[in-house]
Amino acid sequence: MRIAVPRETAPGERRVALVPESCKKLMQAGYEIAIEAGAGDAAGFGDQEYTKLGVTVAADPAVLLGSADLVLKITAPSVAADAGGRNEVAWMRPGTIYVGSLMPLRHLAAVRALAAGKITAFATDAIPRTTRAQSMDTLSSMANLGGYKGVLLAAVELNRYFPMLTTAAGMVFPAKVFVIGAGVAGLQAIATARRLGANVVATDVRPEVKEQIESVGAKYVGIELSESAAAGGGYAKELSEEDRRRQSELLNAECAQSDVVITTALIGGVFAPRLISAATVKTMKPGSVIVDLGADGGGNCELSQPGKTVQYLTLPDVSDGANMGTAAMHIFTVAIG
């Protein structure tokens, strides 16, 4: 069987579907592996790292995918030729197997093209969250890394320190971090922020995760729901209109007094509910940071733009000639999952 690994082309994507160590194991098991030239560069693995193991490095992605029995890719394959002429699904032969984080509900065009091309696809992000399948669940593993990296991005952008520090000039009090959503990404974000010394508060629409939030060092805040928000498999479902209103009031109050807000909420692990409005942003402190880890699913914050850091300027009210202070700057860092 011939395994092909194309280069990732999504903006900001630095991962590669197979690292040299994995190639070595697969080749020892009898698989033939080919990888597109430069596919591992952004991840720190040059072509020479693969060629010295006997992996074929292909310059033409069309030829690479056209000769493959199994295609391994991080993101969904492209279906419409872009400026670089890539139409990865069209290059695959009928009967080819695709394995990767397909996110089928977000990439319907790719799913339909794969079906039309008689290509069998396995979405590793849709694997059930069971103990036996855990090692194959890329959604959980990447969410874990996303929660960690999201806090680091916030620490860099914030105009103050996370921990309490005592200096000769006085004391700096710890930053307050508010984490919305206590799934895999949220719990890792809590743990990372706590390790950096921040005071952490967290919420989730599933009250059963209260103990998990507290076990990693955060204070739980939440509302009493009129009906369960658990959708099974560790995911949440949409709230009723009344519960959404009460949750919004809670989020507005917490965001207004937080230095950093980390949003990780997804419905069914796919779509991001809109939780933070532009009006809420205006109530936040100058220099505060929101890291929207749900940006690829539509964004938990109204002002988020996938792949971009958005600087939101709140001008002071000067209608009465007063309040002429410095304008507040809010920075929204969007992490690519």
Instruction: Give the tens place of pLDDT for each residue, 105-159.
Output: 889 999 999 999 999 999 998 888 788 888 888 888 899 999 999 999 999 999 8
Instruction: Provide mean pLDDT across the span 234-243.
Output: 67
Q: What is the pLDDT of residue 140?
A: 86
Domain 2-126 and domain 143-334, same fold? Reply is yes
Q: Please name which of 19, 56, 60 lies closest in space to residue 40, comparing C-alpha atoms.
A: 19
Q: What is the pLDDT of residue 8?
A: 95
User: DSSP letters along 232-298, please?
Assistant: ETTEE-PPPHHHHHHHHHHHHHHHHT-SEEEE---BTTTBPP--B-HHHHHTSPTT-EEEETTGGGT
Round to whole Å and give the CA distance between 151 and 154.
5
Dump pLDDT digits (tens) for 245-282: 888 899 999 999 999 999 998 887 678 889 999 899 98
Round to whole Å and give the CA distance between 136 and 142.
11
Q: Which two tokens stand for residue 129?
A: 């969250």
Q: Which residues contact 259 (CB under 8 A, 6 or more apart)?
A: 158, 160, 175, 176, 177, 285, 287, 288, 289
Round to whole Å and give the CA distance between 24 and 269.
33
Query: Using 50, 70 and 90 to split pLDDT, how confident is the model at 73?
Result: very high
Q: Is the pLDDT of residue 325 over 50?
A: no
Query: Using 50, 70 and 90 to split pLDDT, how confident is the model at 34?
Result: very high
Q: What is the DSSP letter of 255?
A: H
More confident residue, 327 or 29: 29
Query: Using 50, 70 and 90 to split pLDDT, how confident is the model at 74?
Result: very high
Q: What is the pLDDT of residue 84?
A: 67
Q: What is the pLDDT of residue 329?
A: 44
Dump pLDDT digits (tens) for 162-197: 999 988 888 989 999 999 999 999 999 999 999 999
In angstroms, the Cα distances linking 281 to 28, 87, 311, 332, 333 are 54, 40, 11, 10, 14
Please calculate the CA angle 9-17-82 and round it to the nearest 5 degrees. Answer: 20
Fold for domain 2-126?
Rossmann fold (3.40.50)
- Check if the beta carbon of residue 171 is closer than 8 Å to that of residue 165: yes
Round to whole Å and give the CA distance between 247 and 44.
43
The winner for highest mean pLDDT among 83-92, 130-139, 178-187, 308-317 is 178-187
Round to whole Å and give the CA distance between 337 and 331.
19
Instruction: Provide mean pLDDT across the span 227-241.
Output: 62
Q: Is the pLDDT of residue 205 over 80?
A: yes
Q: Which two tokens stand for residue 114?
A: 């794969």
Query: 143-334 falls under which CATH superfamily?
Result: NAD(P)-binding Rossmann-like Domain (3.40.50.720)
- Check if the beta carbon of residue 183 is closer than 8 Å to that of residue 206: no
Q: Is the pLDDT of residue 223 over 60?
A: yes
Q: Which two tokens stand for residue 16?
A: 């590669």
Instruction: State the angle between helix axes of 184-195 and 138-157 in degrees (0 to 180), rounded to the nearest 10.
Output: 40
165-167 and 170-172 as β-strands: parallel, antiparallel, unpaired?
antiparallel
More confident residue, 239 or 131: 131
Q: What is the pLDDT of residue 162?
A: 96
Q: Is the pLDDT of residue 284 over 50?
A: yes
Q: Is the pLDDT of residue 333 over 60?
A: no
Looking at the DSSP bridge assignments, the partners of residue 73 are 100
Q: What is the pLDDT of residue 326?
A: 38
Instruction: Provide mean pLDDT across the span 289-295.
Output: 91
Query: Domain coordinates of the chain in residue numbers?
Result: 2-126, 143-334
Q: Tell me which residues are annotated as active site.
A: 129, 134, 137, 140, 235
Q: What is the pLDDT of residue 16?
A: 97
φ, ψ for residue 246 (rounded to 5)?
Answer: -70, -35
Query: Using 50, 70 and 90 to split pLDDT, how confident is the model at 23?
Result: very high
Round to whole Å and give the CA distance between 13 and 142.
13
Q: What is the pLDDT of residue 126?
A: 87
Q: What is the pLDDT of residue 337?
A: 36
Q: Which two tokens stand for residue 252?
A: 């507005």
Round to whole Å and give the CA distance between 227 and 17.
41
Cβ-defined contacts of 120-124 (< 8 Å, 24+): 120/95, 120/96, 121/97, 122/97, 122/98, 124/99, 124/100
φ, ψ for residue 71 (rounded to 5)?
Answer: -110, 125
Instruction: Provide mean pLDDT across the span 209-213.
Output: 93
Burial 23-61 (b: 16+ CB within 10 A, else e): beebeeeeebbbbbeebbeeeebebeebeeeebebbeeb
Average pLDDT, whole number, for the chain? Answer: 87
Handedness of CA 209, 246, 158, 44 (dihedral sign): positive
Q: Which two tokens stand for residue 104?
A: 């089928």
